[in-house]
Structure 1
Amino acid sequence: MSRRFDAIIVGAGQAGPSLAGRLTAAGMSVALIERKLIGGTCVNTGCMPTKALVASAYAAHLARRGRDFGVETGPVAIDMKRIRERADTVSANARTNNEKWLRGMERLTLIMGHARFTGPDRMEVNGEEISAPSIFLNVGGRANVPDFPGVNDVDYLTNVSILQLDTLPEHLVVVGGSYIGLEFAQMYRRFGAKVTIVEKGPRLVSREDEDVSEAIREIMEAEGITVRTGAECISFAPHADGIEVGVDCNSGSPTEIGSHALLAVGRRPNTDDLGLDAAGVAVDARGYIGVNDTLETNVPGIWAMGDCNGRGAFTHTAYNDYEIIAANLLDGADRKLSDRILGYALYIDPPLGRVGLSEGEARRSGRPLLISKRPMTRVGRAIEKSETKGFMKILADAETRKILGTAILGTGGDEAIHGILDMMNADVDYGVLQWAVPIHPTVSELIPTVLGDLKPVD
């Protein structure tokens, strides 16, 4: 005899608890199942601890630059144990607050355990079968570990295990030159480690435009980070000094010897041990759960939210998945995934704020384009802070006069990008923002100026 609920939510990451709150407030009985830590990736191994580490790294970097601002600080010492404790505290506090909220929620049953489907409307957890007419999957993802030669012969790090370090690596080799890899590379360089980035592709962050990639490489190299691109045959082997990483690049040494190696080569969904076959839920070749425009799977009554559906690998997209589902089920709305305008950020220093199409994507669309670009050396706020690396670039449709996409690589770029994101969601002529009166001195105040310089592309 199974225990019956109105809804089952699997996973207490970003989307799950919020959906539980809406469903229980609507009078439904809900089972929320979590097999490990309340809060999911963001709270425990993603955004919160890593951005706490980024903040510590920035403090160290700024302290070393004290003389640039007329401040004498003396030698800068790094206490990795204290740095780790601070990040752990940030995560623990958020996790505890989430758990208290959930345990006090009326009509919610919080179950700690691993859930697997036994049918399209039922699951087994801790030896008990539970069932519900509506099931919501919010199971997240984990670090991808490719089958590199020798990878199982060495003690590599992932984005999770590196958070446990409380000593400074002598030489950290980061395999993967995208978002996770770049953030850890810069922070550990600022903590004092020697750092090498190994990237299989021809440039860093290959999803971005070449000018963005090149500017990011310059930022990394200016801080003493070695960047090895074009690493076609990555391999691993034990070495007396740690780990030998074979890179087989077009130039330079064929290997890098590191005391530690971090694998930052993408993510994979936590869907391989859910018993999806028993429910008939379809996945793609990479294991992501297929969903339609309203997040429902191919099985009626089963939805997938967050990283596991492959429709966004960010905390804010997971939360928006919850918003879409809740609005449609409880508010009579007709919200769709296809209405979402994706914005995101890369949290190196200076950060990259991005929304919409890249220049390459816009050019390939064949539409008539306008483009404007301004270096941060011409942004007063950046000059005042002596943080002038990067640039701002805006793309617009020449016929509709709608903004298509923007990149702001520079101080405050992760915040300033929201002015563009809001205008794109409002779906209005860019002239509306061009004639706004922004606050001085800010990074955002230059956006109307950049819009005023929009010119047809070659």
Structure 2
Amino acid sequence: MQKFDAIVIGSGQGGNPLAKKLEEKGWKTAIIEQRYAGGTCINDGCTPTKAMIACAKVAHTVFHSKDWGVHSHGFMVDLPFIVARKNNIVTEFRGGTIKGLQSNNVSIFMGTAVFTGHKTIKVTGHKGEENILTADHIFINTGATPFIPPIPGLADVPYLTSTTLLDEVTIPKELIILGGSYIALEMGQLYQRLGSHVTVIESASQLVSKEDADVAAVIKKMLESENMQIHTGTQVTHISRNGKKISVDITTGEDKDTITGTHILIATGRTPQTAALQLQQTNVLTDEKGFIQVNDKLETSEPGIYALGDVKGGPAFTHISYNDHLIIYKNLFENANTGIKDRQVPYCMFTDPQLGRIGITEKEARKEGIPFKIACLSMDKVARAIETGQTRGFMKALVHEHTNKILGAAVIGTEGGEIMSILQMAMLGGITATQIREMVFAHPLYAESLNNLFMTLEKPAP
């Protein structure tokens, strides 16, 4: 048995920096990784998808270049090159992760971690070798994996996930996507632009169901303008394979139909990777979906064991996982007494144009009884957007009726995430809508449109 001061299970965007900082503080630290260093973000999520989305945007721009007075004479999409480019970037990032851990003298164990006691872990390597580790402090950062819904017939069909689709080197001719949230829409637009005919099937009444209805409607219109087929309020009742085709039986209200395609992508959410850990050997509690339950300081029900990142549920974003490690570290070494309850949760959906989001939505404000006003500006009223020919989308901000402080914002537009980040900092600093309306921004940035956004403030919402 090897004794450590700390063990980190999973080398994601929370586990890696935490392991390095613990080692720097003099704690003998081990990190266990079952698959690839870097976690979902580097290997299956942010890095590979955004690398490929960049290629798809180029294809889309070339295809529509005549809109800018530039006439191209045909082009081809080289998907093997795009995938290889993506893989090179992923490999570079993954290598940097390993190098960073090694340079900080963190002990790295590649294999599957299983609890054999409250603070004891058996690691089984890829060749069957076993190591028994123990530590007073254990940090679980095992993340999540695509959720596969129990749809009749699905198990008999060669379906794809957001992980496996990225390695396809042949463009799917007809791609059916189950799910209508962030991953589904990013992947759908990506492959539509590369040459697929994409159909999205969402069971909820709107796309991105957590967003306001007007935001979802703009996104739906935006994707349909690129010839994506969108079905909302639609249930999948059965899936089957007929030769080289996949058939999906659907029901929308009283209407029934069958959609066929060459490929099917399952993007119906993610499930925590906790089953293999055998947490029943500890006092760590999970909810009914398997997510580890934590308190405001990311402590589990077992003293000395923490959970960070997607495995604990809540906002499943890389930057949240990274912030989790900061909270744990500051509480352990700086007596910071910080928690996750009141932190900001910004996020961006990397469709083109982007959706940048911060703070509460209109429906959340109404539910909580918060008095607010709405500022709204279409991107076709933004000078920079008109000049660049990127006028799809709109900006929407909620402003407190009495304090004039910003409560939340949704920005659909080119560099929507960057514009959102300005509003995020304004919210953190208590800057009011009036101050932003009168602020001097360099002309003609997209940011300058914030002046005009807050000139549109409506009367208090009824």
Query: Shorter-normalised TM-score: what interval?
Result: over 0.9
Return the alpha-carbon distance in structure 2 between the equivalents of residues 447 and 234 of structure 1.
46
Q: Which residue of 1 aligns with 2:82?
A: 83
1:253 CA drift (Å): 6.3
Letter of the 1:197 counterpart: V
Q: Which residue of 2 aligns with 1:117?
A: 115
Name the SS for the 2:172 alignment partner.
coil
Following superposition of structure 1 onto structure 2, how do residues 334-413 of structure 1 map, counting pairs within 5 Å?
A: 334-413=337-416
Return the alpha-carbon distance in structure 1 between the equivalents of residues 433 and 23 of structure 2.
42
1:251 CA drift (Å): 7.6
Q: Which residue of 1 aligns with 2:285?
A: 282
Return the alpha-carbon distance in structure 2 between the equivalents of residues 73 and 329 of structure 1.
59
Return the alpha-carbon distance in structure 2 between the equivalents of residues 331 and 396 of structure 1.
35
1:232 CA drift (Å): 2.1
2:427 is aligned, of 399, 424, 427, to 424
Name the SS for the 1:282 alignment partner.
coil
Following superposition of structure 1 onto structure 2, how do residues 43-122 of structure 1 map, counting pairs within 5 Å?
A: 43-106=42-105, 108-122=106-120
Q: Which residue of 2 aligns with 1:313?
A: 316
Q: Is the 8 A contact 2:122 2:131 kept in 1?
A: yes
Return the alpha-carbon distance in structure 2 between the equivalents of residues 361 and 112 of structure 1.
43
Task: Give per-residue Cα distances to partners, 1:58-105, cap 9 Å, x unaligned.
Answer: 000001111111212211211111111111111111001111121222
Task: Give per-residue Cα distances to partners, 1:424-447, cap 9 Å, x unaligned.
Answer: 222343333333211211111111
Return the alpha-carbon distance in structure 1 between the equivalents of residues 421 and 254 of structure 2.
40
1:305 CA drift (Å): 0.4
2:328 is aligned, of 325, 329, 337, to 325
| Bigger mean CA offset, 435-444 vs 82-91 | 435-444
Return the alpha-carbon distance in structure 1 between the equivalents of residues 326 and 456 of structure 2.
37
Q: Is the 8 A contact 1:291 1:309 kept in 2?
A: yes
Q: Which residue of 1 aligns with 2:226?
A: 223
Letter of the 1:316 counterpart: H
Q: Which residue of 2 aligns with 1:157?
A: 160
Q: Is the 8 A contact 1:42 1:48 kept in 2?
A: yes
Task: Give per-residue Cα distances to partners, 1:268-308, cap 9 Å, x unaligned.
Answer: 00011101111110000111001111111111100000000
Return the alpha-carbon distance in structure 1 between the equivalents of residues 271 and 142 of structure 2.
11
How many residue pairs were aligned?
A: 456
Q: Is the 8 A contact 1:241 1:257 kept in 2?
A: no
Return the alpha-carbon distance in structure 1 between the equivalents of residues 48 and 422 of structure 2.
27
Q: Which residue of 2 aligns with 1:146?
A: 149
Matched, 1:137 2:135: no
Name the SS for the 1:246 alignment partner.
strand
Q: Which residue of 2 aligns with 1:174?
A: 177
Letter of the 2:338 counterpart: R
Return the alpha-carbon distance in structure 1 between the equivalents of residues 461 and 62 of structure 2.
42
Letter of the 1:53 counterpart: M
| 1:251–1:63 CA distance, 2 compared to 1 (3 A) | farther
Q: Which residue of 2 aligns with 1:203?
A: 206
Q: Which residue of 2 aligns with 1:29?
A: 28
Matched, 1:301 2:304: yes
Return the alpha-carbon distance in structure 2 between the equivalents of residues 423 and 68 of structure 1.
36
Return the alpha-carbon distance in structure 1 between the equivalents of residues 10 and 155 of structure 2.
29
1:185 is aligned, of 179, 182, 188, to 188
| Bigger mean CA offset, 302-311 vs 113-122 | 113-122
Name the SS for the 1:234 alignment partner.
strand
Following superposition of structure 1 onto structure 2, how do residues 433-452 of structure 1 map, counting pairs within 5 Å?
A: 433-452=436-455
**Structure 2, unaligned runs of 5 or more:** 125-129
| Bigger mean CA offset, 84-93 vs 242-251 | 242-251
Name the SS for the 2:399 alignment partner.
strand
Q: Is the 8 A contact 1:239 1:257 kept in 2?
A: no
Task: Give per-residue Cα distances to partners, 1:364-393, cap 9 Å, x unaligned.
Answer: 211211111010000011111111111000
Letter of the 1:167 counterpart: T
Following superposition of structure 1 onto structure 2, how do residues 6-21 of structure 1 map, counting pairs within 5 Å?
A: 6-21=5-20
Return the alpha-carbon distance in structure 2 between the equivalents of residues 59 and 129 of structure 1.
50
Name the SS for the 1:214 alignment partner.
helix
Return the alpha-carbon distance in structure 2 between the equivalents of residues 253 and 172 of structure 1.
20
Q: Is the 8 A contact 2:178 2:202 kept in 1?
A: yes
Name the SS for the 2:347 alignment partner.
strand
| Bigger mean CA offset, 160-169 vs 439-448 | 439-448
Return the alpha-carbon distance in structure 1 between the equivalents of residues 115 and 330 of structure 2.
26
Return the alpha-carbon distance in structure 2 between the equivalents of residues 322 and 311 of structure 1.
15
Q: Is the 8 A contact 2:377 2:456 kept in 1?
A: no
Return the alpha-carbon distance in structure 2 between the equivalents of residues 180 and 29 of structure 1.
38
**Structure 1, unaligned runs of 5 or more:** none
Q: Is the 8 A contact 2:9 2:141 kept in 1?
A: yes
Task: Give per-residue Cα distances to partners, 1:311-350, cap 9 Å, x unaligned.
Answer: 2200000000011111111122121101211111111111
Return the alpha-carbon distance in structure 2 between the equivalents of residues 448 and 8 of structure 1.
49
Task: Give per-residue Cα distances to partners, 1:182-238, cap 9 Å, x unaligned.
Answer: 111111111111111111112111111111111111111111111112212332101
Return the alpha-carbon distance in structure 2 between the equivalents of residues 76 and 234 of structure 1.
39
Name the SS for the 1:337 alignment partner.
coil
Return the alpha-carbon distance in structure 2 between the equivalents of residues 302 and 447 of structure 1.
44
What is the TM-score of this pair, normalised by structure 2? 0.96
What is the TM-score of this pair, normalised by structure 1? 0.97
